[in-house]
Amino acid sequence: MLAPSRTAGARPDPRYGDAPMQLATDLTFRCPALTLAVARARQGLPVWHYEFDLPASGGCVTHSAELPFVFKGLPIGQPPLNLQRYWAAFARSRDPNGAGMPDWRAFAPTQASLRFAQDGAHVVTGLRRDTCALLDLP
């Protein structure tokens, strides 16, 4: 269940959209993915979680914004990294890491994720933790 008082104060963000768009993203994608990642990591299963924070066309970051970077091999950051290489490594070995790529640590219940952004890849924690804590997810 979501507490209305918390969402009423959400501010528009140029990358994540207005409050309704942010809430829809949290309810549909972000919070369920984080809940599943936490549950699987607690079971001792390897999990790699990421947040893609780079709009392909300079607009809002939306679900599937990473696809041109995966399928067209578009570079991210400086020095450029290639999301396509992470996905290919994961498909081959069930681990996204490979030679010559920044290390992508496995997800932990403390919510350590990798954020892909204009300036490259960075480890982040607590992605929308406050908002996701308001949801009653299994």
pLDDT digits (tens, 9 = 90+) for 94-112: 999 988 888 898 988 776 8
Mean pLDDT (the chain) is 82
Q: What is the pLDDT of residue 58?
A: 65
Q: What is the pLDDT of residues 66-102, one digit of tens each?
A: 998 999 999 998 888 899 999 999 999 999 998 888 8
Residue 114 backbone phi and psi in degrees, to 5: -110, 125
Length of the chain (residues): 138
Looking at the structure of the chain, the number of domains it has is 1
For 95-106, give the DSSP string: ----TTS---PP
49 located within any domain: yes
**Residue 74 located in a structural domain:** yes
For residue 35, pLDDT over 80 is answered with: yes
What pLDDT was estimated at residue 7?
Answer: 43
* H or E segment and range at residue 4: helix 4-8
Q: Could you tell me which of 65, 50, 69, 87 has the C-alpha nearest to residue 15? A: 65
Collect all residues with Cβ–Cβ distance below 8 Å to 25 and sequence separation of at least 6.
Answer: 16, 17, 62, 63
What does the alpha-carbon distance between residue 25 and residue 125 come to, in Å, rounded to a whole number?
A: 18
**Is residue 138 one of the residues assigned to a domain?**
no
Establish if 9 belongs to a structural domain. Answer: yes
Residue at 28 is within a domain: yes
Domain holding 121, by residue range, is 4-133
Give 110's DSSP letter: T
pLDDT interval class at 62 (50, 70, 90): confident
**Within a domain: residue 88?**
yes
